[in-house]
Structure formats: C-alpha cells, structure tokens
Chains A and B, each alone.
Chain A
Amino acid sequence: MRTTTRILKYELHNVVRSRAVLVYTLLLFLLTDVLFRFGGDGARVVISLLNVVLLLVPLVSVVFGTMYVYGAREFTELLLAQPVGRGSLFAGLYLGLALPLGGAFLVGVGLPFIIHARPEAALLLPLALLLIAGLLLTLVFTAVAVLLAILFDDRAKGLGGAILIWLGCAVLYDGLVLLLITLFRNYPLERPVLALTMLNPIDLGRVLLLLQFDTAALMGYTGAVFERFFGTSVGRVTVLGVLVVQATVPLLLASRVFRRKDF
C-alpha cells in the first residue's frame, strides 16, 4: 500500500503535466462554457452534454489509456526490477492514469456549472448523475485500456482493440440491438432489451440520464418499462452498481495478467 502511494505520487505528477490531459480538460471546459453562453439553462446544458460525454469520455479514456500504458512499458520494467511487488505497481499504474482523467472530466465539466448555473434543486440530481456517469465511464474504459495494453505486446493490436471496443460500445451495439428488435418485433422485448442495455456501459449512461428528463415520454411503451425500472432510485443505484462491476471486471483481469506476465 505504501509503495502504491509512492508510485502513484509520481505517476500523477507525470500524467497531470501531459499535454493531452490538459487539452482534454480545456476541451470539456470550453464546450460546457459555450453551451451555457448560447443561452442554455442548467438542465438543457446537461442534455446537450450527454452525448458528448457518452462518446468523448470513453474514447479519450480508452485511447489515451492504452497509449499511456504502452509508453510506460520500459519504465514499468525498470520499476519491476526494483524491490516492489507487482500488485502495488499495478495499482499505482492504474490509479495514476484513471484519477487524472477522472479529475480532468470533473473539472472540465463541473467548473462551468459552478460559474454559470443558478443553484436550483431540480438541477442537482441530473448534474450529479452526469458527473458520476462520466466518472464511472472513465474508470470502465481506462480499465479496459490497461487490460488491452497488458494483454497485447503489439501496440498496433492493443490500440486497434481499444478503438474497436469503443466503436462497438458507442455505435455498433445499438445497431445490433435495433436489428434484434426489428427481427423479433412480434415478441415482447422490453425485458431482453433491458438486459442488453445492462451490458453496454455507454447505453447504461445514456438511459440513466435520459430518464431524468421528460424526453422519456417520447420512447413509448418501452420507455415506460424503462422508466419504471431506471427512473426509481433502486434502478439508478442498480445502474451505478453495474457500471462499477463493468470497471472492476477488466481491472481484476488486467491485474491477474500483469502479475503473471513475462516482460
């Protein structure tokens, strides 16, 4: 544990100073800020941000994360040649990556809300859910990134895998679900679709946030089924729990591979 915090301290220094993280923070800040300046109130800005957060956060997390772990490869070997356990080093590596990215998201999106938004009770829950969803998506996709970069020694494979997973979650998955719905439209599909939604972190984030607003009414009967599940606090906690699981599973796998790996 002490070794982990010692390693983490320097990893944090290193990642926070990296230009990519700075650019990411600025981008999120400017985007949110502009949305406010174009006359949106807090709730509208949350909705507008939704899709950006759902696409950009996973993309940046998985791509930057994979490249970062590959870039740190030689230094990781040097650290492994020191008297440290692999477990503590792995924890330092992951946290040194996930915490700055999560922090960049919170600052980039949160700061404009502090500057512009009127403090009102109705905004609190959607904003909190947006921030938590973005943070959890960061944790999920950095965990996937670390897993890919440790699993494949070939950078091209790892980076390709990272982009494929992002593409799959952000675009292809929804297409497949739509196809299924069309094929089996004569059957009651609400529950299977609910289950399928649970498997994709990006979909989970989207449904969780959309149902905080009246837009849910546009989704018809399925929307009603979803609303009955996701709209309740039990549903919301379940979704957050599933996202935590989706971050934990690749992380545990990565840690297992890291401990047994030949460098």
Chain B
Amino acid sequence: MTAAATVTPAVEFRSLCKRYGRVTALDAVGIQVAPGRITALVGPNGAGKSTLIKCLLGLVRPDEGSILLGGNALDGGWAYRRTIGYMPQAPSFPDNLTGREVVDMLRDVRGRGAATDEDLLEWFAESGALDRPVRGLSGGTRQKLNAAIAFLFRPTLIILDEPTAGLDPVASGILKDKIRRVRDGGATVVLSSHLMAELEELAEDLVFLVDGKVRYAGSIEGLKERAGESGLERAMAVLLRRGSV
C-alpha cells in the first residue's frame, strides 16, 4: 500500500463517510489497496469493516466520498461488479435449491460464456453435496459452496469476509492455498478476519479500522517494525495502546 505510489491502486477509498443515524460507521476513510496483493481488513466488532466492504459492493451507499476501482470512480452503475468475487460472512442460500442450482443461477445471472474457475466447485462437489438441497448442508459445507461461488467467475478483485470461519483445518488450508494461487495469478484479495495467525500467514498489507477511522494502512512488515514487535498480535496491541503508529 505504501509502495504503491506509482501503480494505480486496485481500489481506492477517498474520504468515505457513512452514518447510520447518530452512529458514524465510516469517518473520512481514505485507503489505497495495492493490486496483486492480499490486504487484511481488521478491527474490533463494529469498527466499520463490513460497511466498508458493502460500500465497495454497492450494497451500502456512502454519504460522502468516492470509491475508485482501477482508477475509475464508481457512479452507481452495476457493471463493475463483473470483476468482483464476494464471499459473505454468513452464507444463506435458497433452502429448497440444490448446490448445483444455486451455482447455475449465478452462472445465468452473470451471463454464460465467460471463462470460469471450477477448482473450488469440484472441491465442493467431492463432498457429494452438489445435488442435495442446501437446507440440509452443514455450516462448513455451505461455506465451501460460498467460497466456490466467490472464485467461480475468475474475479480480479476478491472480497472475503471471515473466509475460514466454520471450516475444518483441512478445508481452511485448501482455501488459503487457493487464495495465494489467485494472488499469484494477479488478482487482488481483500479479506477480513479475527484470526491474527491466519492473517500473518496470508496477508501482506493491513488496514486497521477502529470506530470508523483508519488507524493503520500499510504493509504488515512496516507495522511490526514501527511497533517494535515481531508478532502481529503484539504489534496490534501496541497500536491500540498508542492510539496510532
């Protein structure tokens, strides 16, 4: 993020503000997300992580500020979402459809013909759940379907909200490998998680939000250096104590 001055950021938030009644969810948030890197979005509950992600997806309309995707400002249209893959935190699919039908629906909605990445879909299918109603699937299996959909349309920007929540260690490892592979393929990844160990192993950049304000935005290495700590968890604690870095 800090080194991205010469490169057009994959995503740029410019003084983004969002209020819900009296609560300020986002307070003049300005961030640049570097392309081709994995950026972690962290912060306590209610810090504004979800609101920030939802603004980017067009689910929430910001009160002020703008969002640029690859240098182009979002203007309320929806075509830009073709390049985005989204894995929401609490997946819920139509109860009476099978996994295959849910995937087919999204293929239809996206328009068929574009190249797809069936890697994770095959992984989901291996559990034998493809033709069973979604209603009967376990939380972890649903999360696999959720991940398969996020990666299916070869997005160049992938947004993952607590991606490994509910996954067993094996599945979690497979998903993390997939995340690294698409990053190596040039995609930009933004993920939120509460698991510092996971972020430390996966992410290169970090955005730390507290009460809707950016406390830190930059590389994880840079954060550790400035905090004088070797572990991310401790570095974050220092950050919280000092107020800023």
Contacts and interface: CB of A to CB of B under 8 A. Distances in A.
A80 interface: yes
B140 interface: no
A85 B78 contact: yes
Interface of A: 3, 6-7, 9-11, 13-15, 17-18, 71-75, 77-86, 260, 262-263
A153 to B, nearest CB: 10
A9 B101 CA distance: 10
B195 interface: no
Q: Can you list the 3 inter-chain pairs with the closest CB atoms, starting with the nearest?
A: A74-B92, A17-B96, A14-B94
6 contacts: A6-B105, A14-B95, A18-B95, A71-B95, A82-B110, A262-B20
A78 to B, nearest CB: 6
B56 to A, nearest CB: 9
B57 A75 contact: no
B97 A10 contact: yes
Contacts of A262: 20, 54, 59-61
Nearest to A16: B96
Contacts of B208: none
Contacts of A72: 94
A105 to B, nearest CB: 20
A218 B108 CA distance: 57
Nearest to B58: A80
B82 interface: yes
A81 B105 contact: no
B97 A13 contact: yes
A253 B98 CA distance: 33
Nearest to B80: A83
A152 to B, nearest CB: 15
A58 B239 CA distance: 57
Contacts of A7: 105, 109
A3 B109 contact: yes
Contact of A10 (B57, B81, B94): B94
A14 B101 CA distance: 10
Interface centre among A3, A78, A80 (most CB of B within 10 A): A78
A10 B82 contact: no
Nearest to A6: B108
Given A77-B59, A83-B79, A263-B60, A13 B96 contact: yes
A27 B80 CA distance: 47
B234 to A, nearest CB: 35
